[in-house]
Structure 1
């Protein structure tokens, strides 16, 4: 029996600034039936409260504590690993989350880690600085490997994974990846819910991140076609969008 749902955000509940029709009503209906709802995103550009506010703006019932983001996951990983400073290739939400968690975000000089996420202001100079620090011994930590990112109108833009690939290529170092397909965030949510993995359905729009992470955590999965994937593979449960869960 499914007692909780872990929803991806981009491509699953909205695309950029556009809501997916009927999605908020469907998720709220599942909540009204007694299911626990959590939101898991590989997007590192916002803080948890900003993601929750965006969800509420689309009509979802959402609390800050229900959002699991790669920014928060990265902060946890750095603290657990004893990495106290980071050069960040990313946006303000990631930097703010790290700083609030006690990580010193450095712009110049050495750093314990280089953290790479989605950075729409990415430049050659950023790439060079990231490479130099990693080659000097800084840990290479990536928020997520998503090569593309779904936006309004059915389009795609380069995702954090494209930037991670560039840093990997010039540094020659493989990163530790915090977000999906690493099941870290899924397992954290399942543990917080105090449920068995088989009672928690992971819902997302990407086979290589959302679905893979859910399966790695031992959870059943549901693929929606409102984001990246064009069709359901044989044997993969899913629907056109989240309204198919009702």
Structure 2
């Protein structure tokens, strides 16, 4: 059973890498273009087969090397931007060539299509570059808060929602554990099950911005216990979700 669970966890990590971290790290249009370009390279690139054999070998080597040292953030997949751009450009021009070859669409349109697609992607890149998000570094603020708590208290355990426990441990060095997406029930269960008087419990969670802070009575913990929100930031400029850190500590008389 343990082996099965480990295999499922590995499979989940691979899916997260392929469908979340890599697209976020190299900009989604390039991720899509790279997939299309890779598909075209297998179907139509007989003339350049040796180039693509080397090209795909280099990509797989870089990816395997990064996996070996553990990809914990999208930024660690940014090295794939170079092959992604090449494959995207190839996909655009190959699409125009195949349309001209296999359809009766105007030759002028087939020649212009790759330039139009690439122009749209370039505009998207410019828009993303100048799209300033005042809450872009909310995670860094949370890591700083946790490190400050580690200086203040000898023993700290951090419960992290949204599957970010491994990343939080990497950047803070704290003892971490994943919990499900946070709800009132999850917070109540985790706080009530925590019994260690010599350890401080931090709950690092992403929740709705409209969610009120639970009181001690709602959590069902002793009035003498310490329950405080020590960090709060919106996760993006839409201001619909908040990144909060709560501190729970049992006070011994």
Which one has the largest radius of gyration? Answer: 2
Which structure carries more strand by proportion?
1
Larger RCO (CA under 8 A, 6+ residues apart): 1
Which structure carries more helix by proportion?
2
